Structure 1
Amino acid sequence: MEAAKNKEEPKKTKELLPESFQLGAFLDAYYNYNNNLPKGTERKYTTQAVRNDEFNVNLAYIDAKVEESKYRGRLALQYGTSVNTNYANEPMKDTGSNQLGVRNLQEAYVGFKVAPKTWIDGGIYFGHIGFESWISHLNWNYTRAFALDYVPYYTAGVRVSHQFSDKFSMQFHIMNGWQNITENNRDKSFGLQWKYKFTSSLALTVNQFAGNEAPDNERKQLRLYNNTILEWHALEWLSFAGSFDAGAQKAKESLLYEPWLHEWDSAIPVYRDAEAKAYRHWYHGTLWLSFKWDPAYRLSLRVERFYDPKQVLVATGTRNGFMSNGYTATLDLLSWDPAMIRLEYNYRRSADAVFDYRNAQFSKKEDFFVVAFSMKL
């Protein structure tokens, strides 16, 4: 009887894929009409909806991910105009650095659970700074705030995540640098994230960065950055968010006035190049407001201010640098979930004429209208 029973039992086979394995895809197509009617085909100071008067793909990707009790990972391949713009500054100095292929690799990381509430992930993954995501479908507005286009969307390194309690969590990052997969110097950068949930609808997140952002042929230029986000879902149909960012970077050089050197040797100039002690600063603040008064509609508003007079992040070559305000309104049509249609108007104004204008001129203002179609599976 026992032998007959064992004979009836089917043989167990090892599963090739874990139960949590998932395949996904995303497509974000758009048309942007720029009221400045610029002669050029691309907008400056952004990575999103960059092409003027043209139908194109902002971002498309396919991905495979797994989330098991002891390990996790994600591999995503991407394409689009935002990809080409966002990865344009990847260093191209070495033949073995994967520089020709990294722009098409959105994420490629694997993680291990090393303690009951602690994970270690390594590889290429999304940056930890900022309220808005690289994936437009997840954001209240279609385009990104200045603050998001000038912090890392992606990073390469190691991330340690720990959940101290249901309310408090932390991340620690060791990275190649400020949004670069291929290294530009011999130093590593560090990042922190602190997140505290006061309630299920109110959360505070603090993101920080520290690292040298100068190439090896220049003096070290330490960059320090802090990003603070407060998010409040006040009602089921009403949400608020605010972000304030402050950055500082050590100046590249300082000119010391030493006329006695010139008197001693006329070939020596009166000003001598020396290592700078001063830091250059920049700031930006952003407010978001989102109404979802009906399951089929959502209206989101954004107001922002970007202040970079020393041109640390944004080089304009103008007197006041990049000192700009932005005002955005986005209407989302949600009836086709998981797809949506997005209509957005964006007005930006700067202290100097930095935006492209018709007939190869420049203007202090830029305003444009975007229609976008997106779907996330």
Structure 2
Amino acid sequence: MKPFVYVMLTTACAAATLPCWAQTTTDTTIVTTTTPTPPANGGLTISGYAEAYYTHDFTAPKTSQERPGFLYNHKRNREININLAFLKAAYSAERVRANLAIQVGTYAQYNYAAEQPLLRNVFEANAGVKLSKSRDLWLDAGIFGSHIGFESAISKDCWTLTRSLVAENSPYYLSGAKLTYNTPNGKWTLLGSVVNGWQRIAKLPGYSGPALSTQVQYKPNANVVLNWSTFLGSDRPDSLKQTRFYNNVYAILNSNRKVSAILGFDIGADRKPVDSNNQRFGTGSYVWYSPVAIVRYSISDALKLAGRVEYYDDKNGVIIATGTPNGFKTWGYSLNVDYFILPSAVFRIEGKLYNSQDAIFESTSNLSRTNTSLTTSLAVSF
């Protein structure tokens, strides 16, 4: 722990002294986006993103090349690698739109491992049509980013360098069809979708599906976002009769240009399965949940700090199986420093500590209850 704390303090102080004369933009919005907005009169837009990273796991043995199994971003240990890089083509006209993005990187390698080989490099592929001439009502179908959660795989668009536990263990992408309606005043977004499953392009073998997912988002003003997203379906074969109901709730608050906060709470439940005789293993459901809080402080347009506290409780091992008496009950703490070299380029450094109730982390001597790491990245978008 002492070397870790020393490195954290040193890097934070060094980052705080970086010059802030680089080209910057004023950050007055709550949520940023990497993909350029298509031209108002329609047309084809080409964009791209690349994030190189290095992660040093202080707890894991020197020969261990991977971070813990419940992480999918910045996965490789003690080596320089690419987390995510993609090239995207977006077409937009008055009443049609389409997106295609091809990806590479360790994020795709680990998070898409269960998909068909030819689809593992598809970050996004969808087509949409506007159903009304006067209303902002769209029908889109294909593979698209998940509306569940406030974080995505595009690190540059997130307040923290690495993803939260709840983001790593809920859908980053969905495949299916969705209806999206935005009210004329821009305050409400309503979404309903039929999808192939819980982060599935191809359906899980033995699952007939489909699953349903919704989103209700309210923006009363430019400084507040309130969101409730759901998933109803299963991530188990039909024979087990395990219905899953998942709720994702969060608020993004930006009271002034200096301090912003994200407060989130996710809770899911899988109904207990049946055995070969169609008898359930008890009544009720297996429940897991995760609260998270992130606070970001903008020193300047170029320099920002963010701290995160999170907890993930999955005692029955529905999402994260540990095989230990208490299951996965883990606190997470992180602090990151972001320096925007240019509006399209950011250097980031983050220290993270996990503290679990059981010894679940690989270490130099048996297993450990804690895990510490330091991650740096350089992300560029165009």
1:311 is aligned to 317
Work out the CA distance in 2 between the residues paired with 1:77 and 1:254: 42
1:23 is aligned to 46
Q: Which moved more, 1:29-38 or 1:342-351?
A: 29-38
2:367 is aligned to 362
1:134 is aligned to 153
Q: Which has the higher contact order (CA 8 A, sep 6+)?
A: 2
Please say if 1:214 is aligned against 2:231.
no
Equivalent residues in 2 for 1:220-369, closer than 5 Å: 220-253=241-274, 274-276=279-281, 277-358=283-364, 361-369=366-374
Q: Shift in Å at residue 37 of structure 1?
A: 3.5
Work out the CA distance in 2 between the residues paired with 1:279 and 1:194: 25
Task: Give yes or no for contact 1:150–1:313 (8 Å, CA) kept in 2.
Answer: yes
TM-score (norm 1): 0.86
> Per-residue CA shift, 1:256-288, capped at 9, x if unaligned?
xxxxxxxxxxxxxxxx76134421100100001
Sort the Cα spacing of 1:273 and 1:19 in 2 relative to 1 into closer, same or farther, 3 A. closer
Work out the CA distance in 1 between the residues paired with 2:301 and 2:224: 22
Please say if 1:168 is aligned against 2:188.
yes
Q: Which amino acid aligns with 1:240?
A: A
Q: Shift in Å at residue 234 of structure 1?
A: 1.1
Name the Cα RMSD after superposition: 1.5
2:216 is aligned to 194
TM-score (norm 2): 0.85
Alignment partner for residue 76 of structure 1, among 101, 106, 111? 101
> Per-residue CA shift, 1:48-89, capped at 9, x if unaligned?
111111111111110100222201111000001111111123
Q: Shift in Å at residue 309 of structure 1?
A: 0.3
User: Who wins on radius of gyration, i.e. which is larger?
Assistant: 1
Q: Shift in Å at residue 19 of structure 1?
A: 4.3
Q: Shift in Å at residue 165 of structure 1?
A: 4.1
Q: Which amino acid aligns with 2:378?
A: F
Equivalent residues in 2 for 1:79-158, closer than 5 Å: 79-90=104-115, 99-115=116-132, 116-158=135-177
2:67 is aligned to 43
Work out the CA distance in 2 between the residues paired with 1:200 and 1:162: 19
Work out the CA distance in 2 between the residues paired with 1:165 and 1:22: 25
Task: Give yes or no for contact 2:42–2:94 (8 Å, CA) kept in 1.
Answer: no
Task: Give yes or no for contact 2:361–2:368 (8 Å, CA) kept in 1.
Answer: yes
**SS of residue paired to 1:24:** strand
Q: Shift in Å at residue 24 of structure 1?
A: 0.9
Sort the Cα spacing of 1:290 and 1:196 in 2 relative to 1 into closer, same or farther, 3 A. same
> Per-residue CA shift, 1:98-153, capped at 9, x if unaligned?
x1111100000000000122100000001110111111010010100000011100
Work out the CA distance in 1 between the residues paired with 2:113 and 2:154: 18
Task: Give yes or no for contact 2:240–2:275 (8 Å, CA) kept in 1.
Answer: no
Q: Which amino acid aligns with 2:138?
A: W
Identity %: 31
Q: Which amino acid aligns with 1:342?
A: R
Q: Shift in Å at residue 215 of structure 1?
A: 2.0
Work out the CA distance in 1 between the residues paired with 2:104 and 2:136: 35
Work out the CA distance in 1 between the residues paired with 2:113 and 2:142: 20
Work out the CA distance in 2 between the residues paired with 1:340 and 1:46: 22
**SS of residue paired to 2:241:** coil
1:268 is aligned to none
Q: Which amino acid aligns with 2:227?
A: T
> Per-residue CA shift, 1:150-188, capped at 9, x if unaligned?
110011100100123421120001000000111111110
Q: Which moved more, 1:76-85 or 1:32-41?
A: 32-41
Task: Give yes or no for contact 2:143–2:201 (8 Å, CA) kept in 1.
Answer: yes
Q: Which amino acid aligns with 1:325?
A: W
Superposition misfits of 4+ residues, deviation over 3 angstroms: none
Please say if 1:66 is aligned against 2:91.
yes
Q: Shift in Å at residue 253 of structure 1?
A: 2.9
Q: How many residues align?
A: 334
> Per-residue CA shift, 1:189-219, capped at 9, x if unaligned?
0000001112111110000000022124x32
More strand, by proportion: 1
Q: Which moved more, 1:102-111 or 1:272-281?
A: 272-281
Task: Give yes or no for contact 1:237–1:293 (8 Å, CA) kept in 2.
Answer: yes
Q: Shift in Å at residue 336 of structure 1?
A: 2.4
Work out the CA distance in 1 between the residues paired with 2:358 and 2:90: 46
